[in-house]
Structure 1
Amino acid sequence: MNNPQIPAPLLLQRLEHPTGTVRMVLDTDTYNEIDDQFAVVQAFLSPERLSVEAIYAAPFLNSRSEGPADGMEKSYDEIGRLLDKMKRYPAGGVLRGSTSFLPDGETPVNSAAAEDLVKRALASPEGDPLYVVAIGAITNIASAILMEPRIVENIVVIWLGGHMPSWHHTREFNLVQDIPAARVVFDSGVPLVLIPCQGVTSHLLTTTSEMEKYVKGRGAIGDFLFERFYAYTNDHFGYSKVIWDMAAIAYLLDPTWVTTHIVHSPVVTEQGTWSVDTSRHFIRCAVQLNRDRIFKDFFAKLDAFAAGN
């Protein structure tokens, strides 16, 4: 894969926190768990900051799907349910993503989502990159880069995946499902903001009591989110749940909510670990987040949305 080499000064500029309204697409394995749903809602409840142009359904494979294609379809359907509850829809629509993970690091998996990302990225005005927020396996984004390497010059990827580079492994769900795709993205030189799970996003916890007080009863979408949260476990005594994926949205909403550092892009090994090479290009990596500010923003926006509908 011969990706364009973005000059270091431009790369560092692209890794700065954006100002104004951010043009973005959201790539999500929405039915995989319950956290994607909260991230989708928070993005649409923040039009003063985020302009969601399209949503891509990402593949996943766990106990909630029979395979990556089934996971993608279930995510596609879940996105529709969320948008119908909010009566908010992206202008570019909801697009189906990959029906399989990458077979290797050179072969893309074609899909409507990957094709749309290529087209949308190439059409981005100079100096106004498209932000690609990925909160599932990064198959669709890696496929788009393999299909058209030039898009790395026109996008900034924000990915919730892997664990902290200091963690003893990075066998996190989003990353380990498609290691070839992760390697494509980390090796491509694309401006990348990594939001790690263990050690960072793992602090984004909420409880049944908090959901009952601030989410339940807040319109059709609030009740839907609460039902998803409550049904996730049978034991709510002393229970808390990580809402991982909101962190990727929070990074774009306010730079003070997610502390980040510039680091060299790690190498993803076949064993699911990080390897450090200080000759590689830079990425931005989250190291801490403000759990309270993120949830306060979400609860306040949900409350205002419900009151106005």
Structure 2
Amino acid sequence: MNTSKNLSLLVLLLFMGAGQAQRQVIVDADTGNEVDDPYALVRILLEPSVEVTALNAAHWQTSHWTKPKSMENSHRLNQQLLGELGMGVRTLRGAPARMYDWGDRAQHSAAAYEIVKQAREKEEVTILALGALTNVASAVFIAPEIAKKLKIYWLGTTMDFETKMLKRNDFNPLMDPYALDLLLDSQVDFYIMPINVAVDMEIAYADLAKAIDTHPLGKFLLKRWDDHIDGSREKRILWDLALVAAYIDPELAKIQTIKTSPDSGNRDIHFFEHIDAKHIYQDFYRTLLAFERK
């Protein structure tokens, strides 16, 4: 028996197995708010290299066009989407509104405690946050010691890459300003997709329909556009798909690490400075059209 040869083969097999291991993520989505969330969720849920360990519902209660119980609407749509996909991912209710103004500021929800639980069990927890940061920040408020274990990918803010000026006056930050401040001041590993970068994801309804209307799942996603409060729009930006695609395939984006100003954490934050929108859409179409429900 060639012990050395057998040992080398075992090491190779172990290495190959490790290389094929799925990345685990928690996804936190305000699915009922905009059209883009279901597209992003479809892409991440159909990605074979990723295991979504929990799908949390986020609110958008602060918005002037919100619906009553916005988080519950997101939770319902998360379950509906999983039904369309025939998948059994855990869905958890998040905060019904933004964090509180004083005292125990956390919104105590199943979503927040799921983040705490996983962070206490693992060396690192990755979270893709597509809306308000309430669930994530509440988890850190409840258990501050988990912050250093969290790697958060989030869409929001505007970054001027020349002046290094961070603006927080867009939709997602305004849904819970305190949650963003808490995380900027924490030890979380923060990856931010600014909206002035994700804006490259603008697409015409006609072009999207031409690409996916022949697939049952594509028809489901297009109906979300049709049924939205402003469903008559001819063009739209699928913001969240940019963040999910950049996480799945880092080659589709470029990152710049910037030390933020004292009022924005005064620390290194990773900002996506460019995305390849054309190839993100091509990748999305390939993934969706290859899907067959079992």
Q: TM-score, length-normalised on structure 1?
A: 0.81
Aligned to 2:76: 77
Cα contact 2:225–2:231 (8 A) shared by 1: no
Task: List gaps (5 residues or longer) in structure 1.
Answer: 1-17, 269-274
How many angstroms apart in 2 are the aligned matches of 1:206 and 1:89? 31
2:55 equivalent to 1:24: no
Q: Deviations over 1:150-201 (max 9, x none)?
A: 112222011111112456842111101111001001000210001111x200
The one-letter code of the counterpart of 1:294 is I
Name the larger-Rg structure. 2
2:55 equivalent to 1:60: no
2:127 equivalent to 1:142: no
Give the alignment partner of residue 300 of structure 1, picking from 278, 286, 290: 286
Aligned to 2:94: 97
Which of 222-231 and 18-27 deviates more? Answer: 18-27
Q: Deviations over 1:253-294 (max 9, x none)?
A: 1112111111114455xxxxxx6x7xx221110111100111
Q: % of aligned pairs identical?
A: 27
Give the alignment partner of residue 245 of structure 2, picking from 244, 250, 256: 250
Aligned length: 270
1:249-268 residue pairs with structure 2 within 5 A? 249-266=244-261
1:1-309 residue pairs with structure 2 within 5 A? 21-47=22-48, 49-61=49-61, 62=63, 65-67=66-68, 70-90=69-89, 93-104=90-101, 107-124=105-122, 126=123, 129-165=124-160, 169-197=167-195, 199-219=196-216, 221-232=217-228, 233=230, 235=232, 239-266=234-261, 280-306=266-292
Aligned to 1:4: none
How many angstroms apart in 1 are the aligned matches of 2:145 and 2:121? 12
Q: State the secondary structure of the residue aligned to 2:256.
A: strand
Q: Evaluate the alpha carbon distance shift between residue 66 and residue 230 of structure 1 in structure 2; reply closer, same or farther with a 3 A threshold.
A: closer
Cα contact 1:32–1:64 (8 A) shared by 2: no
How many angstroms apart in 1 are the aligned matches of 2:81 and 2:260? 34
How many angstroms apart in 2 are the aligned matches of 1:20 and 1:290? 26
Aligned to 1:271: none
Report the alpha carbon displacement of residue 20 of structure 1 after superposing the two structures with TM. 6.0
Q: State the secondary structure of the residue aligned to 2:116.
A: helix
How many angstroms apart in 1 are the aligned matches of 2:51 and 2:203? 27
RMSD value over aligned CA atoms?
A: 2.1
Report the alpha carbon displacement of residue 211 of structure 1 after superposing the two structures with TM. 1.9
Provide runs of 4+ in structure 1 moved above 4 Å. Answer: 165-168
Q: TM-score, length-normalised on structure 2?
A: 0.85
Structure with greater helix share of residues: 2
How many angstroms apart in 2 are the aligned matches of 1:147 and 1:222? 40
The one-letter code of the counterpart of 2:224 is R
How many angstroms apart in 1 are the aligned matches of 2:166 and 2:192? 17
Q: State the secondary structure of the residue aligned to 2:272.
A: strand
Task: List gaps (5 residues or longer) in structure 2.
Answer: 1-18
How many angstroms apart in 2 are the aligned matches of 1:267 and 1:159? 20
Aligned to 1:15: none
